[in-house]
Chains A and B, each alone.
Chain A
Amino acid sequence: MPKAIPADSVGLVTPQTRRFSAPLALDCGRTLDEYEVVYETYGELNCDRSNALLICHALSGDHHAAGYHSPDDKKPGWWDSCIGPGKPFDTRRFFVVSLNNLGGCKGSTGPVSLNPATGKPYGPDFPIVTVRDWVRSQKRLGEALGIEQWAAVIGGSLGGMQSLQWAMDYPNGLRHALVIAAAPKLSAQNIAFNEVARQAIMSDPDFHAGHYYEHNVTPRRGLMLARMLGHITYLSDDAMRAKFGRELREGKLGFGFDVEFQVESYLRYQGQSFVERFDANTYLLMTKALDYFDPAAEFDHNLSAALRQAQAGFLVLAFTSDWRFPPVRSREIVRALLDNDHDVSYAEITSHEGHDAFLIPNPRYQALLRAYMERVAVEAGVP
């Protein structure tokens, strides 16, 4: 536990649940008749309701973006470095909303939830949700909270794809979109990594075609492998070298297949701890949402056309060592925004941390966010 909760933390937070009973039509053609969304909020909504920020999470994220659930928590929420009093998403000025997306495993309706039609967990029968479906559900959550227009919708990686989708689907639903370490669609290589992760899960004997809850098991090995693979793609070669090099745990070679190199130990630890906190069916869904994201597809694969209706101002950020969604992918987004004469700023932040850099405190990154958020605050009429 932290010795004391830091002064620039939002402090202790309690997740809230909202039930939606109006059916939600999904891109896959199916409908969720009713569903729940779990979210947290930090800061206060102002009288004009003009100061709300929506935080969209990435593949393995959730609603717990900042603060602590209990004084005994070892770690704060996943984006605590950016959300809090005096931080770039300053909770003294902004009302920050962070939710767990549909299909998630942290409380919002997803594969682990009971399917009202069967009384059993959805498991693999949970519909495949898309980024657009998420944005629809986020729009409803905003309305339920009395927010007609977000001061900004913010996300990194898969979260950045959601903020991009927001700007396309609800041009007046937000004033700014922060699209960080994202891409306008996945490359074949990105999809290939996702497919290996899915195969790892689905080929685990404990997967039981997704019905593992009924067998009281989890496909631990598969999910662990998927996470280990993912983790490699989140780090850069440099970051791995700096962190682990070829360091040996025992100081000498063991001529066996046990863990010998520190990097092996690290990956196994990451994989194992992930299994404790994440659901395999959710992981499958999240990777599919990534693979399917391609907003330009229905505009004859013209991203500029897809962004034509957007009204928001954009901040697009990329990290130099990110090879999962490298700067060149962000530049595709920038180019499409420039084609439309939209307000956009773009920076490539020097970092050795790879794709993970969007989650890691970095003075330049934070300064750029802070500078841009000042503009967001002025437009929101926030002192």
Chain B
Amino acid sequence: MTQRLPALRPDLEIISEWIAPQSRVLDLGCGDGALLSYLNATREVTGYGLELDEDKIQKCLENKVNVIQSDLDAGLSGYFDADSFDYVILSLTLQAVRYPERLLDEMLHVGSEGIVSFPNFGYWQNRLQIAFGGHMPVSRNLPNDWYNTPNIHLCTLRDFENLCAKKDIVILQRTVVDQAHRTSLGMTLLPNLLGEIALYRFRRKPG
């Protein structure tokens, strides 16, 4: 690696380690394109980012990342054929889309593998806030109030894994981390209670 790269958001760093070199990647809700830019520089990965926000699209162009302005709620099949990508990534966005189930289907339609990360609603601090505070959790990962949050489909690890089981989606890899994106023995033993952010890599069950 000859050029110095800016530090990647820690969850994106974990995701980047899951991506095979020279693969084709679609990054949904790609933000400023940091992940694609990093993957391109370090692993010769090519692909596209999808983004809706005009400021972020401008950032992508500045970062020399291929970006397509589009609304994830409108689906992916308008743009992409089946099996166009090795990986389709959705980082910290699943909880904010209108049709998460449909989007998972589409991810595995246009790509062979999907990667998602999301804030774990089952994290113990969230549970405490509901159980004893009697209000929707507000935290570093979920900074908004219930009435102005973009996060309309929050779930726990168990919820996500149940959905995968129902949809014949095979989970290939799971990592659970805290806000600083460290993992610990506790998180490995009790991921749904102690993990703040969950990351999954998955594919459709063969056959």
Give chain A's interface residues, CB within 8 Å of chain B. 315, 331, 334-335, 338-339, 341, 343-350, 364, 367-368, 371-372, 374-375, 378
User: Within 8 Å of chain A (Cβ to Cβ): is B99?
Assistant: no
Measured CA separation A334–B66 after assembly (Å): 12
Residues of B within 8 A of A346 (CB): 67-70
User: Residue B79 contacts which of A334, A341, A343 (CB distance < 8 angstroms)?
Assistant: A334
| Interface pair A338/B58, CB less than 8 Å apart | no
Task: List 17 additional contacts besides A339-B81, A345-B68, A368-B58; criterion CB under 8 Å.
Answer: A331-B79, A334-B68, A338-B84, A341-B24, A341-B84, A343-B66, A345-B57, A345-B60, A346-B70, A349-B54, A364-B54, A368-B61, A371-B61, A371-B62, A372-B61, A374-B62, A374-B64
Residues of B within 8 A of A338 (CB): 48, 68, 79-80, 84
Interface size on B, residues (CB 8 A): 21
| Interface pair A371/B58, CB less than 8 Å apart | yes
Secondary structure at chain B's binding surface: helix, strand, loop or mixed?
mixed
CB-contacts of B116-140 with A (<8 A) = none
CB-contacts of B68-125 with A (<8 A) = 68-70, 78-81, 84
Residues of B within 8 A of A367 (CB): 58
Distance of A151 from chain B, by nearest CB (Å): 15
Residues of A within 8 A of B48 (CB): 338, 344
Residues of B within 8 A of A364 (CB): 54, 58
Residues of A within 8 A of B84 (CB): 338, 341
Distance of B74 from chain A, by nearest CB (Å): 11
| Interface pair B64/A375, CB less than 8 Å apart | yes
How many A-B pairs have beta carbons closer than 8 Å: the answer is 54
Measured CA separation A59–B10 after assembly (Å): 51
Residues of A within 8 A of B70 (CB): 346
Measured CA separation A378–B3 after assembly (Å): 15
Residues of A within 8 A of B60 (CB): 345
Which of B65, B70, B79 has its CB near the most chain A CB atoms (within 10 A)?
B79
Measured CA separation A334–B50 after assembly (Å): 12
| Interface pair B61/A375, CB less than 8 Å apart | yes
Measured CA separation A338–B80 after assembly (Å): 7
Residues of A within 8 A of B24 (CB): 341
Distance of B125 from chain A, by nearest CB (Å): 39
Take A331-B78, A334-B68 as given contacts and tell me if A345 and B61 are in contact as well, using a CB distance cutoff of 8 Å. yes
- The closest CB in chain B to the CB of A379 belongs to B64
Measured CA separation A334–B79 after assembly (Å): 8
Distance of B44 from chain A, by nearest CB (Å): 14
Measured CA separation A378–B62 after assembly (Å): 12
Take A334-B79, A338-B48, A375-B61 as given contacts and tell me if A347 and B54 are in contact as well, using a CB distance cutoff of 8 Å. yes
Residues of A within 8 A of B66 (CB): 343-345
4 nearest A-B residue pairs (beta carbon): A371-B61, A371-B62, A347-B69, A346-B68
Distance of B86 from chain A, by nearest CB (Å): 12
Measured CA separation A331–B74 after assembly (Å): 13
